[in-house]
Amino acid sequence: MFGLDEHIAQLGQGQVFAVVAMIAVLLGLRHATDPDHLTAVATLVTGDAPEARRAGRLGFAWGLGHATSLFAFGVPVVLYRRYLPDAVQTAAETAVGVVIVVLAARLLVRWRRGDLHVHGAPMRPARSAHQAYGIGLVHGAGGSAGVGVLLLAPIPDHAEAIVALALFAVFTALSMAAASTSLGAVLSRGRVLRSYLAVAPALAMLSLAFGTWYALGALDAAPYVF
């Protein structure tokens, strides 16, 4: 985002593998702050039970799905410099926007139906960890993950490149779990939870607009700045 990944990656150029591994970890931790990730996880968590532990499980499941796709598509890149065809990359990027739109629309529907809060009781779960994992699989195939993979691709040693890719994927998942746990902890506080119903539709509409813009950007129908 805004060239930050490139600056981080440059720190490890020409260094021993310990430094390269550290750079991969930093890239993974920073990767969670990309707007498409934050939007997806925010709608994923806020559309479900706002409780830190459950939010963390959902975020980690989402992150594992993301890491699975990232690693699967990243191996050919770091080993053989083989990239997905442009049409497939465009479709994957568009799918990321569509997933965000679907999550946002579902959050809005659950709010209108009164599913987010029932008689002072906790919200009824909207999805399982397996579903969150599936959402992560779709998101990992596109999104900004490709940038991190491209930054790792110049590593000359194949074994080191695979380890760096694995570290990047794993720490992306861990950082998403941390982000979702933090969000769940905030939402579970009494005062915040009481205000949640008023905030949920605004968050849903903003996420809906962001997902639409992201999908249009993937199709070159709108400017894309990240």
pLDDT at position 151, please? 64
pLDDT at position 120, please? 46
- Return the closest-CA partner of residue 71 out of 34, 24, 35: 24
With helix as H, strand as E and coil as C, how does the chain read?
CCCHHHHHHHCCCCCCHHHHHHHHHHHHHHHCCCHHHHHHHHHHHHCCCCCHHHHHHHHHHHHHHHHHHHHHHHHHHHHHCCCCCHHHHHHHHHHHHHHHHHHHHHHHHHHHHCCCCECCECCCCCCCHHHHHHHHHHHHHCCCHHHHHHHHCCCCCHHHHHHHHHHHHHHHHHHHHHHHHHHHHHHCCHHHHHHHHHHHHHHHHHHHHHHHHHHHHHCCCCCCCC
pLDDT at position 34, please? 75
**Residue 27 Cα to chain centre, angstroms:** 13
pLDDT at position 119, please? 43
Q: Residue 72 domain-assigned?
A: yes
pLDDT at position 190, please? 63
pLDDT at position 147, please? 60
CA distance 205 to 76: 38
Q: Residue 226 domain-assigned?
A: no
CA distance 194 to 51: 14
Tokens 């963390």 belong to residue: 56
Q: Residue 50 domain-assigned?
A: yes
Which residues constitute the domain of residue 166?
A: 4-218
Q: Residue 209 domain-assigned?
A: yes
**Amino acid identity at 129:** A
Q: Residue 225 domain-assigned?
A: no
**Amino acid identity at 223:** P
Q: Residue 42 domain-assigned?
A: yes
Q: Residue 224 domain-assigned?
A: no
Rg over alpha carbons for the chain, rounded to the nearest Å, is: 18
* Domain total in the chain: 1
Each residue's pLDDT tens digit in the chain (226 positions)?
Answer: 545 555 545 544 545 567 777 777 887 777 777 777 777 777 776 665 556 677 778 888 888 888 888 888 888 877 877 766 778 778 888 888 898 898 888 888 887 877 665 444 455 555 677 888 888 888 877 765 566 676 676 777 788 888 888 888 888 888 888 888 887 777 766 676 667 677 778 888 888 999 899 889 888 888 766 5
Q: Residue 223 domain-assigned?
A: no
pLDDT at position 194, please? 67
Q: Are residues 157 and 16 in contact, defined by beta-carbon separation less than 8 angstroms?
A: no
Residues 6+ apart with CB under 8 A from 120: none
CA distance 13 to 108: 46
Q: What are phi and psi of 70, to 5 degrees?
A: -60, -45
CA distance 154 to 149: 10
